[in-house]
A and B are shown apart, each in its own frame.
Chain A
Amino acid sequence: MRRVAPLLLALLLPRLAAAEDPAQLRAALVDVNVAAQPWDQGSPWQKQPVQQRSGQGVVVEPGVVLTLARLVTDAQLVEVSVANSARRYPARVKHMDLAAGLALVEVTDEGLRGQLAPMKIGEPARLDDEFDLYQLGADNMLQRYTGRVVSASAEGARLLLRLNTTLPAGGDGQAAVRDGKLLGLVWGTRGQEGTLLSVETIRRYLDDLADGSYAGPPGPGLWVQPLLRDDLRAYYGVAPEQHGMAITRIVPGRTGDGVLKENDVLLAIDGYDLDDEGRFMHEVHGRLDSDYILRGRRNAGEKVRAKVLRAGKVEELELELRAQSAAQTLVPDRFASARPQYLVVGGLVLLPLTRDQNFSRRSPGATVLRRYTERDGWDPKGERKQVVFVDHVLADIANKGFETLSCAVVESVNGQRIGALADVARALEAPQEGFHVFRFEGAESDFVIPAGKLAEIDKRIARTYRVSRLSCLEGDEG
């Protein structure tokens, strides 16, 4: 009897007691090691020192590992290893999307491919669900930790579950597993807290890739205001029983452009009613930001229905979800691993402004550049495709007096307005009275350089500062 009781319990509660199959885990969970070399933003003709990164991944197709995109950006060398072995096997990045936060790595070693077996994607974890998290330790042993879902939140195109977890800090791509199925990849951990990239985000990414072409998640595009305040509710004409968020701006080319209007109030999207903070009740995850509907659930190109209050009347509209790339963004995220665009002229190092640039220097110019970044693809004057600025100056006799110029936005070159880095190259073909004249925004002196001597000056500067290549314009990347 004593021996039968546990057995009976096990039969009655098979799910609770079922331990994961170690052999299956060992065949699906891998360690991803990456040697990466990002471009050096300040000196974009060269690369930064090599960074070693390591994280984890899960085999989702034969020989293909799903992992976090940030692990494999700018990768020079990708290797994977499996449990109980110190051996590393060659692999390569098959696909990567920073917006989704995910990447696929293909194992190129035939021997290892045979040992690996894909893990199925499970159903979404609910609030308060508990499950195991696995990590390949430094000793190549499979370690088991636990996690419990505390809450869910939408962050851009990603749906993240907040965990209470025993996993140590610094988590990167560890698998959450229940009943042999994947519940998510660890996005990060700190103390007792962790975040898990949800199954929904993983499914959207894999389904999008399934047909061979990747549409990507829709990009941001709507600027909204919550409608908790009675003055704004009155201003937008929202009845007490109506709830939603007011639209204050629509980024040209993005979701809603041509369909929604400023001062529309978005009441419902894709069948979900919004509340006055623009959130909705999700059937599994509870209260989520509407970003999840607009960016996280579907692929770019899909359509959703929207219920809108416009001029006192409720209207049903159809929105096409548009990709990030559908609009020219004034200040883009640099496409990961892509070669940065730049131009060195007379010692001025000219760059287009991107979001990942780091202006820790406390100059007034840095504040101006940060303000461009905040405006999210919006050129108030509507004349630019890029914000071109002088990052720093490679000092030379030719640019004497301008050694400390930094963060200066280029307004015109030789009288031609500069709306992109390529415009600078074009404008240099037409000097003014024998000089190239750079004009900057704000109270800055013009920078001039004799046109006839530019080639010689550039050559000298390239030699002095060992600049291997003086320009990389759009289309030159690679």
Chain B
Amino acid sequence: MRTVLLALLLLAPPLLAEPDLEKLRGSVVQVFVMSQGEDYAMPWRHPQPQGANGTAFCIAPGMLLTNAHVVSDAKVLRVKRADRTKWYEARVLFAGHDCDLAILAVDDQTLWQGMQSLEIGDSPAMQSKVAAIGYPVGGSKLSITEGVVSRIEVRPYSHSGADAHLAIQIDAAINPGNSGGPVMQDGKVVGVAFQGQFFSQNIGYMIPPSVIRHFLKDVEDGRYDGYPELGIYHAELQNDALREYLKVPDGETGVLALKATPYASCVGLIERDDVLTRIDGIPIENDGTIRIDGESYEFTHVVEEKQIGETVTLTVRRKGELKEIPVKLKGWGARMSPSVAYDERPEYLVLGGYLFVPLTTNYMMATRPSEDLAYYYQQYYRNIAEEGRAREQLVILSQVLPDATTRYRTYRNEVVASVDGKVPNDFREFVALVEGGGDLVKIEFEGVNVPPLVLEKGKIAEAHARICKNLNIPEDRHVKEPK
């Protein structure tokens, strides 16, 4: 039996270049991380640190590429080559949470001796064979698993919770520990293993070369800025009467612009009822897709390939007339981001027996929000520029801490509407309004018949010290300095 297998291997045509094991043992390193996240529900607390393993590999002298999720919230970060015994202290040079990639640096130069960089190749073809290299659970030595490319499409990137990019699905086993490891074909890197799929078997995802290159190009200037956002709410244009009403000629296709998201690229450039017919000259279909080299993509894919600061040209039919609109690309822009935040301390203010926080995705994940709060959360980036109430951040009264002075206050996750009649633009301004106000400060809330909170500064000061002592709150606030 053994001889038969051997014979098969020998006969097999050399489609897949044998990975050079010696080279890989030096270039693909194991990552050990001790991370500590934040407790957004009780922001003065710090959860217990957790240890985990991942993989990284050399892409250029002095630079290791891995997943952002491997190194997020890291307190201690170490790497080890398969051909050495020493663990080296590492640090994060760049982290791109929106594309789940990060670059690590190691200051001890002995790590890099004899280490070869792996070259980034082109996107692998469907059904072609690939090998995932890394340090997954189940052992401590370098592991190589083989599979084929099953599917290439835009997928959610779960690390940020808010981004979707091109991803390649492979059937090679991708397990915890594989994260950040290279997926190779013909001696080149054709992907970075990054996530699996719950309740499924033989489904692993890797970050394709286009996304890796986008990240590497972004950091060339010494800073990671992230993906640009076109920022247009649009609708498909499948309805003939609607096309006729919008004076779209026969044979022309496109999508209907409904609204530009505030702070993003198209504010002031795109109007409601504009029909977007082309993006950088490529025709947009009525369902919002474009075709490049026979493959179908969402039209925003063109923006995916660009960096912040670059320009994309939209061809727009406005009131029957065709216009070319160059759009200088910006990032998300809004302070309230739907992305999960990492490596950041949560903002909060404990004032007497009241805990105020800005409404963030991390907060929504950390607490069990009411339907009402979920509504505001949803609205804040759908409709942030709702007439007359543009605010960059929403502030919420998260909870009432037990004390004699807070008796009968049954607030939970109430959205602050105003402080002494003024609408705070963000958390910082809220804190300033509360602290700068007179001896009586009246805070009103959104929602139906929620009673106002009237704070008496004199009483609060006394309660404040008692509550912080009793609840063991070492710091009563963390408020970010303006950038």
Contacts and interface: CB of A to CB of B under 8 A. Distances in A.
B241 A398 contact: yes
Contact of A231 (B235, B371, B374, B454): B454
B454 A232 contact: yes
Nearest to B237: A401
A448 B242 contact: yes
A225 to B, nearest CB: 5
A364 interface: yes
A145 interface: no
A401 B242 contact: yes
Nearest to A450: B241
A442 B454 contact: no
A473 B408 CA distance: 47
Given A225-B451, A249-B449, A443-B258, A234 B456 contact: yes
Contacts of A2: none
Interface in B150-184: none
Interface in A426-474: 433, 435, 437, 442-450
Nearest to A346: B241
Given A401-B237, A443-B382, A231 B258 contact: no
Given A448-B239, A448-B245, A371 B375 contact: yes
Given A442-B383, A443-B233, A445-B256, A235 B241 contact: no
A313 interface: no
Contacts of A231: 453-456
The listed residue with most B CB atoms (<10 A of its CB), out of A225, A232, A401, A402, is A401
A374 interface: yes
Interface residues of A, number: 36
B409 interface: yes
A445 B409 contact: no
Contacts of A448: 239, 241-242, 245
Which interface class (under 10, 10 to 19, 20 to 34, 35 or more) fits B? 20 to 34
A364 B375 CA distance: 8
A272 B449 CA distance: 25
Contacts of A402: 239
Given A400-B239, A445-B256, A449-B241, A228 B442 contact: no
Contacts of B197: none
B456 A435 contact: no
Contacts of A337: none
Given A249-B449, A375-B448, A228 B235 contact: no
Contacts of B258: 443-445
Contacts of A364: 378, 382
Contacts of A449: 241
A433 B246 CA distance: 11
B146 interface: no
Contacts of A371: 375
B353 to A, nearest CB: 11
A225 B237 contact: no
Interface in B382-412: 382-383, 407-409
Interface in B213-243: 233, 235-242
Given A231-B454, A367-B375, A446-B242, A248 B449 contact: yes
B452 interface: yes
B449 A367 contact: no
Query: 5 tightest CB-CB pairs across the interface, nearest first?
Result: A401-B238, A445-B235, A231-B454, A401-B239, A228-B408
Interface of A: 223, 225-226, 228-229, 231-232, 234-235, 248-249, 364, 367, 370-371, 374-376, 397-402, 433, 435, 437, 442-450
30 contacts: A225-B451, A228-B408, A229-B407, A231-B456, A234-B454, A248-B451, A364-B378, A367-B374, A367-B375, A374-B448, A375-B448, A399-B239, A400-B238, A400-B239, A400-B240, A401-B242, A433-B245, A442-B382, A442-B383, A443-B258, A443-B382, A443-B383, A444-B235, A445-B235, A446-B245, A446-B273, A447-B242, A448-B239, A448-B245, A449-B241
Given A402-B239, A437-B245, 5 more contacts: A231-B454, A367-B371, A367-B375, A397-B240, A401-B235
